[in-house]
Homo-oligomer: A and B are copies of this chain.
Amino acid sequence: MKTDFSWTIRVYYEDTDAGGVVFYANYLKFFERARTEWLRAMGVGQHALAADERVIFIVKSTSVDYLAPAQLDDTLRITVSVAKLGRASVSFTQEAWRMDGSGADRKMLARGDIEVVCVKGQARAPSGPADFRPTAIPASILNSIRNTIAQPAARSLQS
């Protein structure tokens, strides 16, 4: 079961730390940007999802290996693959690759397993603690994800 999608990002000063390389926690941001664009490529916007369907996706667990450092101005390709699709959850395998000038992958920098859960309720209610009870992924989205998985050759790169 595999989806292939990737998103290209640039490393800016904001992403680095005093070690001269990308701060490791920021790979979680990079991975999420790619998942967001993967959803958007299916026509799913998360802001609209919260407003219309009253569900949001939250991250339940993350497991990341940092293999090699990225530096300022590096171009990274972030991949998105669905490892497991449940009724209320999606498990992703994601990688960060440093690209060379020609756009080819040069080195894998990080690899992660991210589990996301669909939850219901008005998470942002200011009057009380968030609820976050798991709920079924809306059918239209579930179908879109299934369709993407069925077409392993589909690959999308922005620009």
Q: Give min CB distance, A24 to chain B, whole Å.
A: 5
Complex interface residues of chain A between 1 and 60 (CB less than 8 A to chain B): 10, 12-14, 16-21, 23-26, 28-29, 32-33, 36-37, 40, 45-48, 50-51, 54, 56, 58-60
Contact among B16, B24, B33 for A62, CB-based, below 8 A: B24
Counted per complex, copies of this chain come to 4
Whether A18 and B72, one on each chain, are in contact in the complex, defined by CB atoms closer than 8 angstroms, is yes
Query: Closest approach, in angstroms, between the C-beta of A120 and any C-beta of chain B?
Result: 12
- Chain B residues with Cβ below 8 Å from A56 are 19
CB distance from A118 to the nearest CB of B (A): 13
Q: How large is the interface on A (under 10, 10 to 19, 20 to 34, 35 or more residues)?
A: 35 or more
Q: Is the CB of B66 within 8 A of A63?
A: no
Cα(A127)–Cα(B20), bound, Å: 11
Name 5 extra pairs, CB < 8 A, besides A12-B33, A158-B159. Answer: A18-B71, A20-B130, A50-B126, A59-B66, A60-B65
